[in-house]
Amino acid sequence: MALYMLGLEFTPVSSVVPAAAPADLGTLLHALLLRLYPICRSITGNGVRQTLAILREQLPNMVVHEVPSGTPALDWTVPPEWNVREAWIKNAAGERVIDFRNHNLHVLNYSTPKQGWVPIAELREHLFSLPAQPDLIPYRTSYYNPNWGFCLSHNQLQTLNEAEYEVCIDATLDPNGSLTYGELLVPGEVEDEVLISCHCCHPSLANDNLSGMVVVAELARQLSERPHRLSYRFVFGPGTIGAITWLSRQTPDGLARIRHGLVATLLGGDGAFTYKRSRRGNADIDRVVAHVLRTGGYAHELRDFIPYGYDERQYCSPGFNLPVGCLSRTPFGEFPEYHTSADDCEFVQPAQLVGSLALYERVIEVLEGNQYYQNLSPYGEPQLGRRGLYQAIKSQASPREAEMALLWVLNQADGTHDLIAIAECSGLSFNVIREAAAQLLAAGLLAEKASALSEPPPFS
């Protein structure tokens, strides 16, 4: 409880935003996570607004959208806005045996209001615990199945032996409220976009999904401060209904600009990285992430797309079929702390946040440099010596590797293979292949070619 309450002493983001040495970056990311941890978030409500307001302190150009409750969103409807002021269970002596103020997981998220004395038999039908993890509070929701209730440790549940208890859930479900999400576009040299999406709806759960928010916010901040070729669109929205609402508000032309996408989540645990491919299975983002994980020496697992999980399933629904994968550490439901009070700020370590950020930075670096080229001297091998390329080869740390990179690029640069494809078939690193392409381009042997883009996703 002490760590939970410590988070209420908010550290101004202005004190953690300035550039820091890499050794300090994890501490700064973790400080932001500590600040966000106590806020009671849900798919709508003031908790989301407060969270986005904090992120806007370091992302001032982020636009916060409010979509009125009752608004149609594809096959869904924006739900009433939920806010909770207090929630508790008192015994006959007037003592609060369960109190929302101690941990916001104690209230069933999206609980309907409740006030009065309740017999213990009835109360037990509205109490949620984890017998297999008796010390932990579970996270439970009632978004689309109205109910009232409390979550508590199984050990706490075992102590409730009085005939009746007084219950208070001071909450509102406002049909005139709204759903809130944040969106930031960081323009590049071209309009082709990389979509990076994360959830902002879970309450005090540090890995799921505060880790994704703090890593993505720092990534967006860094990209906002340096030039880049591609444009980047960041979406901070509540799970499922947030992505569906965002998609419902896009135009076909806008969606067609999304060339790559990632859902960022579960980035603070100590597990290996997991990449879930897009529905397409062989989109550029799928090939880039797989290459970076393999050549970077990361412990990792690659998984095929399934229509279950995070918001990649919305972006990859067949009508949109966007090239969006999910890059996380240990996936949801596969670590014991998942959706429990054990997913706290001690479970998420600064080193894991920095490591996840570094992986995303590397993926972006490769996306930025991955292009198609056309060999301008494709009949026979061009003479490299008279263009000074052999001298350049001799000056490099690995002359043989540099020579092979030149030959591979010349052979494969037919306008249908990008640099990732050449790196994969040659077995050479992307950086070596990219440097070879730059040398050949400077020597007049290559020309940049527009990407072999797939058809834009159908949308109506």
Using an 8 Å Cβ cutoff, are 203 and 42 in contact? yes
How many Cβ atoms sit within 10 Å of the Cβ of residue 390?
Answer: 16
The domain locations on the chain are 2-78+177-369, 83-174, 372-449
Write phi, then psi, for 414 (nearest 5 degrees): -110, 15
Q: Give the percent of the chain with pLDDT over 90.
A: 88
Q: What is the dihedral of CA 214, 293, 366, 265, to 10 degrees?
A: -20
204: tokens are 């005090």
- Provide the token pair at 423: 């790196």
Whether 208 has a binding-site annotation, put simply, is yes
- Is residue 15 scored above 60 in pLDDT? no
pLDDT, residue 8, reads 29
pLDDT at 5 over 60: no
Q: Return the minimum-mean-pLDDT range out of 17-21, 250-254, 366-370, 432-436.
A: 17-21
Residue 202 has pLDDT above 50, yes or no: yes
| Rounded Cα distance, 279 and 345, in Å | 33
Paired tokens of 137: 């509070």
Arithmetic mean of pLDDT, 316-337:
98
Residue 309: left (phi > 0), alpha (psi -120 to 50), or beta? left
| Measured CA distances, 220 to 55, 188, 217, 358, 399 (Å) | 11, 13, 5, 13, 37
Domain 83-174 identical in fold to domain 372-449: no
pLDDT at 455 over 50: no
228 labelled as ligand-binding?
A: no
- Does 202 carry a binding-site annotation? yes
Rounded average pLDDT over 126-131: 98
Which pLDDT tens digit goes with each residue over 368-410?
A: 999 999 999 999 999 888 888 876 676 666 888 888 999 999 9
Query: For residue 292, what are the contacts with CB-CB under 8 A and spacing of at least 6?
Result: 298, 359, 362, 363, 366, 430
Non-local CB neighbours of 394 within 8 Å, separated by 6+ positions: none
CB within 8 Å of 290: residues ≥ 6 apart = 275, 302
Average pLDDT in the chain: 92
CA separation, residue 4 to residues 40, 86, 156, 171, 321 (Å):
12, 17, 19, 22, 40
The CATH number given to 372-449 is: 1.10.10.10
CATH class of the domain comprising 83-174: alpha beta
Instruction: Tally Cβ neighbours within 10 Å of residue 282.
Output: 12
Long-range residue pairs from 31-36, CB within 8 A, at least 24 positions apart, any chain: 32/214, 32/217, 33/206, 33/210, 33/211, 33/214, 33/268, 33/345, 33/348, 33/353, 34/6, 34/7, 34/345, 35/7, 35/10, 35/11, 36/7, 36/210, 36/213, 36/214
* Fold designation for 2-78+177-369: Aminopeptidase (3.40.630)
**Distance of alpha carbon 183 from alpha carbon 64, whole angstroms:** 6
Query: What's residue 450's pLDDT?
Result: 77
CA distances to 20, 82, 371 from 420, rounded to whole Å, are: 32, 46, 8
pLDDT tens for 262-278 read 999 999 999 999 999 99
pLDDT value at residue 19: 44
Residue 10 has pLDDT above 70, yes or no: no
Is 60 exceeded by the pLDDT of residue 138? yes
Distances (CA, A) of 232 to 180, 227, 283, 318: 20, 11, 17, 23
- Residue-wise pLDDT tens digits, 219-256: 999 999 999 999 999 999 999 999 999 999 999 999 99
* Amino acid (one-letter) located at 78: V
What percent of the chain clears pLDDT 70, i.e. is strictly above it?
92
Which residues, 6+ apart, have CB-to-CB distance to 303 below 8 Å? Answer: 274, 275, 276, 277, 331
pLDDT of residue 384: 87
pLDDT of residue 334: 97
Is the model's pLDDT at 323 over the cut of 60?
yes
- Please check whether residue 81 is in contact with residue 177, taking contact to mean a CB–CB distance below 8 angstroms: yes
pTM, two decimal places? 0.92
pLDDT in the model for residue 385: 84
